[in-house]
Structure 1
């Protein structure tokens, strides 16, 4: 039987805060002691030898000197995730439910039982690898990393862990879904689409093409937001997936979008024909005055019009409702509008986002204008003189 002398802590000479115990095999098991951010004395067993114990102690002292919170816990990832979710009262209900589902389905079954203090980037990489084995798409994996990363950031802020391990993932360990090729309608395609659209959805599709409003913004539009006198739409609300009018996600999404006169006339005709035309009524409402269903708009409104117009070319990307927004952006760029104006009309958080998404459009438009100017400067006189000789 092992004696008490063998299991008691023994202080390492000359190494303050480092102790060891002798195991049954005669080997030393090192422990360190320190004060956490709340002033409580803590003990921690360290794997490895004396150097590893010294490194672990210096790391904790370094974090304290940098002002980082050190507050170790025996809580598991699942417990910390539950605590984090309870604090997310500012999230939209649907977003919170999505985060809860992603954690419950993809993350907690894999690392939920691990103590939060023990989770490393290898554990995060394990979650990613397991999701890939289960045929999860890259986009789903990246989406699941969002609440996972926020839980770990929550733990880091409270001193449960030193740093969010997601930051240490290697580039190749983060799945890249790749950018879907956008579908931009040309003039003839816009004409064909609107010519065959169901009369109930034609005004909605026309406004989508020529204002770039997101589907939720269109469905959340009230008549009081439409100023036909000044020729603008005031985007102030959007319709969420539960049918509620809520504020847009970013302040920049609250914006004034210009209306061309022909679109203003179409909107005026739509209001005259609508049974719901009071200021607070929705511009696009059901027979009962409630918001339209997103799927119905996409399927009955857009998809049927695409089929009737013959725009379902299998060699090209499927036309989504969001592509109508891309089409509006391309129209603005083609008219020579600068990136700041385009960004404001689209409600992007910053012009940088607009450039990242539509850089190829700006580049193409600029090159087209530049090429036209250079060709005219170099050869314009030749064309003019030749034409003159042909005429006379």
Structure 2
């Protein structure tokens, strides 16, 4: 039974050997069959603590504070192992951030002693690009949330932390002549790959793992069911980024170009000249960047910008938000709108122009005002 004890005096008001030493009032309660104790300076504070314990035990939110008295480095490996839902590339990036940034800073800190001010100071002083800070902070916040779920913290000290502002890199959308210039400038072995990425929107890892069996020439469709990632020098095949397979349409132009790449059922459609998986870093540094420069395109043009180009071309061709979402494999239409809001804004203007054209073609604009009221 929960109770408050006086450490200094007995019931008969005689002094105990502890008189004047330490905090006077002792809160005593039961936890999992064991008796727990905590000292306070005042009787009211001890009673308030017991009330808090009782409330949280009844609601199922009580956390034994001793479970938070552990070094962060002792918990990080368990948290990493619990991230089985992550794609291989994301898992590799997570392990790298833990090893290089999170563990060196937080490893020897007691979990329960970490405050929001501590996390804010770390974020403010990280000295990295805003996007990198956001990513690393997000991983540490996920770790702290896991600690809450594991019953080691009552709340996460990462709540309310302000992140540094940064200029978000603008997407680069190529025009058809620019795609052609890039394709003409790149090594002939990868020429069709450039057109493929710019018209289908596949991620590089998805294109690298595409096989003949995934191409349906009759339906003019590609089945995107896998992606390959370089994880610490080892090529790992897993599901696409959001874990869902999807069908992507092929243009007639691309259909003609892809057919010569189709051989045996399990053969890669876009292998290296040696018949192996393409590695994104090698492709970019050895082949892609040189072609970008030779084509006179912006030197900061990423391979991923070809995916953005496919989205731009689709939207300007009249594709709906839902169609673009399905083609790109976004988890929701909201993500598609968030990423390509500016492109869809232009489409709104185009809608108004097309409506004007319809109205003009109908001859309504030539009717007298009195007649328009009846239209």
Question: How many angstroms apart in 1 are the aligned matches of 2:85 and 2:121?
Answer: 30
Alignment CA distance shift 1:208-1:100 (3 Å)? closer
The one of 11, 24, 36 equivalent to 1:42 is: 36
Is the alpha carbon distance of 1:343 and 1:86 closer, same or farther for their aligned partners in structure 2, counting shifts above 3 Å?
Answer: closer
Give the match for residue 179 of structure 1: 168
Which one of the candidate residues 142, 149, 161 is aligned to 2:153? 161
1:187 and 1:67 mapped to 2: Cα distance? 60
Can you list the C-alpha shifts for 1:60-90, whole angstroms capped at 9, x where unaligned?
3332232225233221222222332344445
Judged with a 3 Å threshold, the aligned counterparts in structure 2 of structure 1 residues 11 and 213 are, in CA distance, closer, same or farther, namely farther
Task: Give the structure 1 partner of residue 71 of structure 2.
Answer: 76
| Structure 2 equivalent of residue 307 of structure 1 | 293
Matched, 1:356 2:338: yes
- The TM-score, its normalising length taken from structure 1, stands at 0.79
| Structure 1 Cα separation of the partners of residues 44 and 316 of structure 2 | 65
Q: Which moved more, 1:243-252 or 1:177-186?
A: 243-252
- Return the offset for 1:59: 3.3
Distance across 2 between alignment mates of 1:49 and 1:322:
63
Match of 1:319 among 289, 298, 301: 301
Report deviation, 1:149: 1.7
CA contact (8 A) 2:324 2:336 kept: yes
* Structure 1, gaps ≥5 residues long: 1-7, 14-20, 272-276, 385-392
User: Judging changes above 3 Å, is the alpha-carbon distance between structure 1 residues 255 and 93 closer, same or farther for their aligned structure 2 residues?
Assistant: closer
Counterparts of 1:41 and 1:98 in 2: how far apart (Å)? 44
Gap change, CA 1:61 and 1:108, over 3 Å in 2: farther
Equivalent residue for 2:14?
A: none
Q: TM-score, normalised by structure 2?
A: 0.82
Q: Does residue 1:65 correspond to 2:63, yes or no? A: no
Count of residues in Structure 1 that have an aligned counterpart in Structure 2: 351
CA contact (8 A) 2:87 2:241 kept: no
Residue of structure 2 in register with 1:107 after alignment: 102
**Cα 1:111/1:356, change in 2 over 3 Å:** same
**Equivalence for 1:9:** 7
Deviations 1:123-177 (A, max 9, x none): 211221331xxx222222222223322221222122221112212x24xx22344
Structure 1 residues 78-120: Cα deviation after superposition (integer angstroms, max 9, x where no partner): 2222332344445455544433332343233333333222222
3-state SS of 2:293 partner = helix
Query: Matched residues in 2 for 1:256 and 1:160: separation?
Result: 44
**1:273-284 correspondence runs (5 A):** 277-284=263-270
How do 1:335-374 residues align onto structure 2 when only pairs under 5 Å count?
335-374=317-356
The residue that corresponds to 2:181 in the other structure is: 192
2:287 matches 1:298: no
C-alpha deviation, 1:223, in angstroms: 1.1
Q: Measure the CA separation in 2 of the matches of 1:308 and 1:97.
A: 33
Cα distance, 1:51 vs structure 2: 5.2
Equivalent residue number for residue 289 of structure 1: 275
Q: Does 1:266 align with 2:257?
A: yes
Q: RMSD in angstroms over aligned alpha carbons? A: 3.1
Aligned to 1:145: 137
Tell me the SS of whatever aligns to 1:113. coil
What is the DSSP-based 3-state SS (H/G/I as helix, E as strand, rest coil) of the residue aligned with 2:125?
A: helix
1:226-278 CA deviation, whole Å, 9 max, x = no partner? 111211111011111132222223233x111000111111011234xxxxx32
The 2-side partners of 1:11 and 1:153 are apart by 43
